[in-house]
Amino acid sequence: MAPTGHYCVAVTADLGSGAAETSRVVGRPLWLAGLTGAGVGLLGGLVGLGGAEFRLPFLIGLFGFVALQAVIVNKAMSLIVVMVAIPSRLLAVPFAEVACHWSIVVNLLVGSLVGAWLGASWATRMRAATLYRVLAVLLFGIAAVFAAEHVGAIPTLNLPPVAQALAGVVAGFGIGVVAAIMGVAGGELLIPTIVLLYGVDTKLAGSLSLLVSLPTMLVAFFRYSRDQAFTVLGQHPRFIAVMAGGSILGTFLGALLLGVVSEAVLVPLIVALLLISAVKVWRHA
């Protein structure tokens, strides 16, 4: 039994061939979970994200969750953070302005809901080693998209309405798959996609992305709830509550400090962290 204020992780993951992978048992104080969540949220808040893409490598490398359990725990925390963030985000951007662009939300949801269901289904069927490598590749891809967005390498497309709608469905599907497999909200992909396809400003794109993220995450969460690995949430409620609370606090602090840290320093740092995380997660395989 873990000491008071600590928790232990001891889980197994089906490798798809009858074998099982047992994670190393890791005892960590709950304050470390809160501190890690706050740091992740702070980093995400500084760049206008929830930070789930930074949280995932810590769940695997520091806290000892195996791949699928880490994804499910990350998804649960991402869902909490997004639900808390929506009211404050809607206050920052007038609801009337968001409502005028409801068609963008619907367009992306047509693809993302399907992608989320299939992505979660694929994740539950992957061998653990394969899932680690997929997560590593996706972390690398997130780093590339993040860097491209912040150096202004993502242009705005002027597509005819039919082509734009089709592109929105395809993009939504891909984002839904990635968000489900990584357990993230998907804002790091949704925001540049909305700017690219629909030509709206970044601030409005951030609000619209939350309205796409929430139902997309709920679909993936429901699909994961049908898998045996979902029991990890019931095994570690205090850990999840403390880390999610830290993430929410860090996100708000990061938002308050937005613009204080120069992007010339922040962006290379975040890209480097994502790339290092990708390598570490790949090696877990």
Summarised one tens digit per residue, pLDDT across range 212-258 is 999 999 999 999 999 999 999 999 999 999 999 999 998 888 877 76
> Is residue 110 a part of any domain in this protein?
yes
Tell me: the pLDDT tens digits for 54-90?
999 999 999 999 999 999 999 999 999 888 887 777 6
pLDDT attached to residue 102: 94
Q: Which residues pair with 65 in a beta bridge?
A: none
> Is residue 163 a part of any domain in this protein?
yes
pLDDT attached to residue 21: 41
pLDDT attached to residue 27: 63
Q: What 3-state class would DSSP assign to 14?
A: strand
Q: How far apart are CA 252 and CA 249, in angstroms?
A: 5
> Is residue 188 a part of any domain in this protein?
yes
pLDDT attached to residue 70: 95
User: How many domains, in total, are found in the chain?
Assistant: 1
The pair of structure tokens assigned to 233 is 């949430």
User: Treating both helix axes as pointing N-terminal to C-terminal, what angle do 202-224 and 187-198 enclose, rounded to 10 degrees?
Assistant: 130
pLDDT attached to residue 135: 95
Tell me: the pLDDT tens digits for 134-165?
999 999 999 998 888 777 666 778 889 999 99
Q: How far apart are CA 188 and CA 175, in angstroms?
A: 10
Q: Which residues pair with 21 in a beta bridge?
A: 13
> Is residue 268 a part of any domain in this protein?
yes
> Is residue 1 a part of any domain in this protein?
no
Q: What 3-state class would DSSP assign to 204?
A: helix
Q: Which residues are CB-neighbours of 155 under 8 A, at least 6 positions away?
A: 196
Q: What 3-state class would DSSP assign to 46?
A: helix
Each as own residue / partner, the long-range contacts of residues 24-28 (CB below 8 Å, 24 or more positions apart, any chain) are: 24/64, 25/64, 26/62, 26/63, 26/64, 27/2, 27/3, 28/62, 28/63
Residue 153 dihedral angles phi and psi, to the nearest 5°: -90, 0
pLDDT attached to residue 98: 85
pLDDT attached to residue 153: 63
Q: How does residue 261 score in pLDDT terms, banded at 50, 70 and 90?
A: confident
pTM score above 0.75: yes
> Is residue 99 a part of any domain in this protein?
yes
Tell me: the pLDDT tens digits for 9-64?
444 444 443 334 434 434 678 899 999 999 998 888 887 677 888 999 999 999 99
Q: Which carries the bigger pLDDT value, residue 91 or residue 182?
A: 182
Phi-psi region of 259 (alpha: psi -120 to 50; beta: other; left: phi over 0): left
> Is residue 221 a part of any domain in this protein?
yes
> Is residue 11 a part of any domain in this protein?
yes
Per the structure, the complete domain to which residue 227 belongs is given by 6-284
